[in-house]
Amino acid sequence: MNKGLTLQKVCIMRDGSPLIEVDHHIAPGDVLTIMGPSGVGKSTLLAYITGTLAPVFEATGGIALDGADISQLPPHKRQVGILFQDDLLFPHMSVGANLAFGMKAGGSRAERRAAIESALADVDLEGYADRDPETLSGGQKARVALVRMLLSKPRALLLDEAFSRLDAELRTQVRDVVFRNARERQLPVLMVTHDVDDAKAADGTVIELESLSKT
C-alpha cells in the first residue's frame, strides 16, 4: 500500500526522558533531511532504524518499509542500507570482496564478478576490484562504500553525516552520485547532517531538531 519508509510516532528516550521524536513518511526517491546540533540523537534515530540501538535507550513507535513493519526484524533482515561519515570499507578485504560481501548469494563466479565490474564502472572505478581499499583516495573510497551498499539491494537508504569528512569539491561530487543513484532506484532516503549545503542539495523536506531534553 504505502511505498517508502514510514516513521510512525517514533520516540526515543534515555533514562525516561525523550530525546527525539519523529513522525514522518518518506516516499520512494524522496530525501528527508534531519538537521540539528550534535547530541540531539540524530544518529540514535538511525540506530533505531537499523536495529542496533544500544540498550540504554528506550524506543517506541513503528518503522514501516513499503507498508510492512520492520521494527521487530533483526538488523540483517531489514534491508536498510547505511553510509557513515567514514567509508568503513572492511580493511581485510579487496575492493571486489567488499562489494561481493554485500551481494545476495547465488549466481556463478563470473556473473558476480561481472556485476561487480560493471557497478565499479558506473562510478568510474573500472579495474579497481583487486585493489587494497587503503590504497584508494577518499573520494574513491566513498564511492566504493556507496556501490557496496547499493549492490546489497537495500529498500531504503540512511546517511549518517555521510559527506562531512570530504572536502568541499569532493563532497558535491559524491553527494550528487549518491542522490542520483537513490533517485534512479526510487529509494527513500533519510539523511542526518549539520551541513546546510547537504540539506539544499537533497531538495526535500527538512526537519530542524532542537534538544528535547531540558537540562
3-class SS at 155? coil
The CA radius of gyration of the chain, in Å to the nearest whole number, is 17
Of 152 and 164, nearer to another protein (C-beta) is 152
Q: Are 148 and 129 in contact (CB under 8 A)?
A: no
* 188 touching another protein, by CB under 8 A: no
* 11 touching another protein, by CB under 8 A: yes
Selected binder of another protein within 35, 47, 116, 187 (CB under 8 A): 47
The DSSP H or E segment spanning 61 is strand 57-65
Pairwise CA distance, residues 215 & 213, whole Å: 6
* 57 touching another protein, by CB under 8 A: yes
The alpha helices in 6-164, defined as continuous H runs, are: 42-50, 95-102, 109-122, 138-151
Segment interacting with another protein, rule: CB under 8 A, options 54-62, 121-129, 166-174, 182-190: 54-62
* 181 touching another protein, by CB under 8 A: no
* 134 touching another protein, by CB under 8 A: yes
Residue in this structure with the C-alpha cell 540512511, named with its chain if needed:
158
* 138 touching another protein, by CB under 8 A: no
* 91 touching another protein, by CB under 8 A: yes
Tell me the closest approach of the beta carbon of residue 200 to another protein, in angstroms. Answer: 26
Pull the grid cell for residue 184: 534512479
* 81 touching another protein, by CB under 8 A: yes
Binding characters for another protein, 92-121, by CB under 8 A (x = yes): x--------xx-x-----------------
Q: Which positions ≥6 away from 205 have C-beta within 8 Å?
A: 24, 30, 31, 32, 33
Break the chain down into helix, strand, coil percent, rounded to 5: 35, 25, 40
Using CB under 8 A, list all residues that contact another protein.
Answer: 8-11, 18, 21, 47-48, 50-62, 71-82, 84, 86, 88-92, 101-102, 104, 132-135, 148-149, 152, 154, 158
